[in-house]
Amino acid sequence: MKKFTFLLFLVILGFANVTLAQDAPAGNAGYFKFQARLKIGMGQTFTALPLRFEDMALIGHGSSVEVTGLKNNVLKTKWGIYAGGNFDFYFHPNFGAGLDVDYFANSLKFVTPATLKDYVNTHANTSISESNRKNQSLIFIGVGPSFKVFTNEKWDVDVNLRGGVSMLNMGSLMVKVNGVMEDERYPRDTVLDFNYDKTLNVFGAKLGVYGNYWFNPFIGISLGFDFIHSFVSAKKINDDADMKFAYKDPENFLKSDGTLDGYPYFQPKNYLDKYHPKMMNVNHFSASVGVVFRVVPVPKPKGKNKDIIVLVKDSLTSIPVADVDVTLRDSKGSVLRTKKTESNGKVTFENVEPGDYLITGAKGELKTSSAKVEKSEFNKKKSIYKELVLKDLKFMLAGVTVQCKNGDKPIGKVNIELTNKNTGKVETAASDEQGKFSFNLEQETDYSIVGNKDGYFSGLQEITTKGLDRSKTLYVKLVLCVEELKPDQIFVLPIYYDFDKCNIRKDAGIELDRLVDLMRKYPKMEIELSSHTDQRGTDAYNDKLSQCRAQSAVDYIIGKGISKDRITAKGYGKHKLIEDCTKVAGCPTGSAGDCPCHQLNRRTEVKILKM
């Protein structure tokens, strides 16, 4: 009845497994995965022996004693080696079926009764010996449903239910007391004669629980526990003449004074009786570690691989946008590839397999629209074309860092600082190998920008988006000039003074602080700081004003802790003009008005004297 109930349970589980697989979501159609586990550990055959015996009569010297409630408390098993393998076929992410093979090997242990120990200890030339020892073993082969009860990217838990054949051999062992006198009628030395050394092929049921950690999609390690019950009936063993459990219990041969009957030798009152099993309880348990493998065939998609071409353009001007990070994701949202758009705003993902994809773009904090690619589009003959639109209203600063007075040669890896003069917010970036860099600019905003690199220095430059029409302009272009720090090198500081005054304004202090930091970084650096005026006014007036301005700047720097021996103030007035403004049309010659030519001549310069 028990066998029939368990078989029915397995049939119901198998039917439920098939039904659930048929009702699986469409996304699981055609799902298949093979998983194998090889494991080794320790196992125990808990009471894989006759557990309880039928009542019996002990006969001796013409009298008999009825003994009831006999139990096996002298023959046990030890933990032993365990090995096994699981082979599972999953036709659904959570359900499948598989085959298990398990092997147990356990040795027998005779628990010597205290009465027998005392006898041997008090009688010279006696000892206990064992012979005919053969270990227990179990080979289980079963099939049944497999379940994934928990799973994520790295971990999962398997539960296996199996029914099959248990090939059980319970071993043999003989225990004797050596040195006991014997005669032909009553052999008195044998205490235990256990011989179940015959393989029983019976039905077995198994439960296995395994936790797996995956190093990658194909291999991992596993920790598992297995429990196997073999259905062995006591009747089957009683009817088999080859099965023998005979035991002479010393407790039944005690004299009234508590000693064994018969001195100086072991003399029981009965023969070695055969014990008939009344109950069998054959359970095996193991704990193991192992290696787990899996193979997930990838179905070949319909359609041919295609190139996906993506164009990113500005929503207002339709201008292609360069240096946008375009990302290709699969249907689960995992990033497959990311590429930057070129100057034409395009990027190409080559040889993409048929499937469902999502394309997104970003340029710093600016996000583009997204575009979907459907599997059906791969059936077309041509490449797949998608457009992304940048809808943000910010301008884009397209800058390049160049080395001044060297043919404006691009120089890379320059650290750039952009300051929003309206809010004071500072953003940083680094130019690439070609000297290119970019920032996003707010509308109607003034900015200042500087660059720094070991051995180089740039003056502060001003840019603005005021007056620019976003519907017509996307890019604000800038060439940021950096000077090499070497003797006789001259670079201009954008320092401004109030009309007819030489005191340092707040905005000039910011630029002079950068010069202070530079001189701290290069402690051997010595400079000349010079001031120049435009060509209007007298020589004497301009010489005095320019010297005052240069000295004010020098005093500011000395006040920041730079030694006065490292810096010289020099006012050149209008003696070193960059351009003669009298030859420039529209440039005023009087004190009223201004022009770019005059602004170019009015400058503060730093000349490196020593590095």
Contact of 406 with 483, CB cutoff 8 Å? no
DSSP string, 160-227: EEEEEEEEEE-EEEEEEEET----SS----EEEEEEE-S-EEEEEEEEEEEEEEESSSSEEEEEEEEE
Q: Are strands 567-573 and 526-532 parallel, antiparallel or unpaired?
A: parallel
Q: What is the mean pLDDT of residues 81-110?
A: 94
For the cut 90, the answer to whether the pLDDT of residue 327 exceeds it is yes
Could you read off the pLDDT of 230-274 as tens digits, one per residue?
998 888 788 788 888 888 777 766 666 666 655 444 554 445 567
Q: What Å distances lie between residue 262 and 63, 117, 180, 254, CA to CA?
A: 17, 16, 10, 10
Q: Write out the residue limits of the CATH 2.40.160.20 domain(s) in the chain.
A: 2-295
7: part of which helix (H) or strand (E)? Answer: helix 2-22
Residue 581 DSSP SS3: helix
Q: What is the mean pLDDT of residues 500-513?
A: 80
Q: Write out the residue limits of the CATH 2.60.40.1120 domain(s) in the chain.
A: 306-390, 394-484
User: For residues 49 and 163, which has the higher predicted lDDT (pLDDT)?
Assistant: 163
Could you read off the pLDDT of 118-133 as tens digits, one per residue?
888 877 788 899 999 9
Q: Are strands 306-314 and 384-390 parallel, antiparallel or unpaired?
A: parallel
Class of 2-295 in CATH: mainly beta
Class of 394-484 in CATH: mainly beta
Q: In sequence order, what are the beta bridge partners of 366?
A: 363
The CATH number that domain 488-611 falls under is 3.30.1330.60
Residue 273 DSSP SS3: coil
CA 198 to chain centre: 52
What whole-number distance in Å separates Cα of residue 529 and Cα of residue 568?
6
Model pTM score: 0.46
For the cut 80, the answer to whether the pLDDT of residue 54 exceeds it is no
> What's the fold here for domain 306-390?
Immunoglobulin-like (2.60.40)
Phi, psi (rounded to 5 degrees) for 46: -65, 115
Q: What is the mean pLDDT of residues 329-347?
A: 92
Per-residue H/E/C for 407-475: CCEECCCCEEEEEECCCCCEEEEECCCCCEEEEEECCCCEEEEEEEECCEECCCEEEECCCCCCCCCCE
What whole-number distance in Å separates Cα of residue 31 and Cα of residue 16?
17
What whole-number distance in Å separates Cα of residue 58 and Cα of residue 261?
15
What whole-number distance in Å separates Cα of residue 60 and Cα of residue 188?
13
What whole-number distance in Å separates Cα of residue 308 and Cα of residue 382?
10
